[in-house]
Structure 1
Amino acid sequence: MKATGALGFAGFTGVTAGRGGEIGTSSSETLRLFGEVAVSGATEVVTQNTWAYVATGDGFAVVDWRNSNRPQLVGTWDAPGTGIADVKVDGDLLAVSTQGGEHDHGPGEEPNADPDAQIGTHLYDVSDPTDPRYLSTFQVLPEGVHNAHLVDDVLYIAKEAPFDESALIIVDVSDPANPTESSRWILEEVHPELDSVTNFVHDVYAQGDYAYLAYWDAGCRVLDVSDPTDPVEVSWFGQTENADMGMDGDPWSRVYGSPGNAHYVQPSPDGDHVYVGAETYAGESGGITVFDVSDFNDPQQVATIEAEDRNPGIFPDTSHNFDVTPNRLYTSWYNAGARVYDTTDPSNPQKTYEYDPDGSSFWTAVRARGFTVVSDIGGGLAFLHEDRGENRAPSFDGADSVPYHDRRHDD
Structure 2
Amino acid sequence: MTLMSLRKMTDFLPGILVVAILAAFARPAAAGLTYLGSLNGFSGQASPMVFTDELVAVNGDTATHIWRKNDLGSLPVFVGPPDIGRQRNQVGLARKGDYVFAGAYGYKKETMGSLITIDVSDPTDVHVVNTWEPEGIKFGRLIRRGNVLYSAFHFVGLATIDITDPLDPQFLDVYGSIEDEFNGTDNIALHGDYIFAGTNEDRVDIYNVADPGDIQKVGSINTDSGNRWISIHNDHLYVGHERGIAYRIVDIYDISDMSDIQQVGHYDAHFSATCHSFAFSGDYAFFVENHSYQWSRGSFGIHMVDISDPTNPVQTDFFDTSELGQLYGDLGGCGIDGDRLYVPNYARDMIMVFEISGAQAPEPSAWAMAVMGLAGAGALIRRRRRG
- Flag whether TM exceeds 0.5 (same fold): yes
Amino acid at match of 1:169: A
Name the structure 2 match of 1:215: 199
Indicate whether 1:153 and 2:147 are aligned. Answer: yes
CA gap of 1:382–1:75, structure 2 versus 1, over 3 A, is same
CA gap of 1:129–1:203, structure 2 versus 1, over 3 A, is farther
- What are the within-5 Å matches in structure 2 for residues 5-404 of structure 1? 31-42=33-44, 43-44=46-47, 45-66=49-70, 67-80=72-85, 81-100=87-106, 111-112=110-111, 119-141=113-135, 144-161=138-155, 166-186=156-176, 199-217=183-201, 219-237=203-221, 239-240=222-223, 259-268=224-233, 270=234, 272-280=235-243, 287-309=249-271, 317-335=273-291, 336-358=300-322, 359=326, 361-377=330-346, 378-386=348-356
Is contact 1:338-1:362 (8 Å) kept? no
* Aligned equivalents of 2:165, 2:105: Cα separation in 1: 23
Is contact 1:158-1:169 (8 Å) kept? yes
Higher strand share: 2
Name the structure 2 match of 1:6: none
Is contact 1:135-1:176 (8 Å) kept? no
1:235-261 per-position Cα deviation (integer Å, ceiling 9, x unaligned): 532x14xxxxxxxxxxxxxxxxxx321
**CA positional deviation for 1:293:** 1.1
Task: Tell me whether 73-82 or 290-299 shows the greater mean CA deviation.
Answer: 73-82
1:18-71 per-position Cα deviation (integer Å, ceiling 9, x unaligned): xxxxxxxxxx87621124211331522333334210112221111122444232
1:189-247 per-position Cα deviation (integer Å, ceiling 9, x unaligned): xxxxxx9877411111224433221123352223232211122345532x14xxxxxxx
Is contact 1:277-1:286 (8 Å) kept? no
Amino acid at match of 1:122: I
1:277-330 per-position Cα deviation (integer Å, ceiling 9, x unaligned): 1213x9867711100111111111011113322xx8xxxx31112123442212
Higher helix share: 2
* Aligned equivalents of 2:169, 2:190: Cα separation in 1: 18
Q: TM-score, normalised by structure 1?
A: 0.67
Q: What is the aligned-residue identity percentage?
A: 21
Q: Which runs of 5+ in 2 are unaligned?
A: 1-29, 292-299, 359-387
Is contact 1:262-1:279 (8 Å) kept? yes
Cα RMSD of the aligned pairs, angstroms, is 3.1
* Aligned equivalents of 2:115, 2:192: Cα separation in 1: 22
